[in-house]
Amino acid sequence: MRISIVTVGTRMPPWVSQGVEEYSKRMPRELNIEWKELPLAARGKNASAEKLREKEGQQILKAIPSGDRVIALDVRGQALSTERMAEALAQWQMSGENYSLMIGGPDGLSADCLQRAERRWSLSGLTLPHPLVRILLAEQLYRAWTITVNHPYHRQ
């Protein structure tokens, strides 16, 4: 099974890359996490947030592998506990399907991206900076997997 995380923004500080890499490499081979970083749309004085979302949304949708089930990370989405995320991950593994998770740019996800998603998840009611979202998502996917295999990490 593969989980593609399609995210807007390519220049992350080293601490972000290190954190994401650390949790991603801890995942088992049968649960491959693939990160796809896309460039931000050019931001000029006259660029509207809506046009930027649309342009980035087109990139995101093109980067999603055909046949993947899609989930949008959206502050207005359903809040999940770690245990519920673990249940979802276990179901994904049993289905044998691949999944793509979308993380929008600074202006969020386009309407087309939200429409393409079969679910919307919120990692927090707080507004989180995109670099932190990446690490938080990577850690929570790892934690969810540890719950499914009764690994002691979750109980630390």
Binding residue ranges: 73, 104, 123-128
Nearest to 105 by CA among 15, 2, 11, 4: 11
CA triplet 43, 48, 54: central angle to 5 degrees?
A: 85
Sign of the torsion angle spanned by Cα atoms 76, 77, 81, 82 = negative
- 80 Cβ contact partners less than 8 Å away, ≥ 6 residues apart: 88, 121, 122
Binding residue ranges for S-adenosyl-L-methionine: 73, 104, 123-128
Q: Which ranges of the chain does DSSP label H, i.e. alpha helix? A: 14-26, 49-63, 82-95, 111-116, 130-148
Alpha carbon distance 125, 132 (integer Å): 14
With beta carbons less than 8 A apart as the criterion, state whether 92 and 30 touch: no
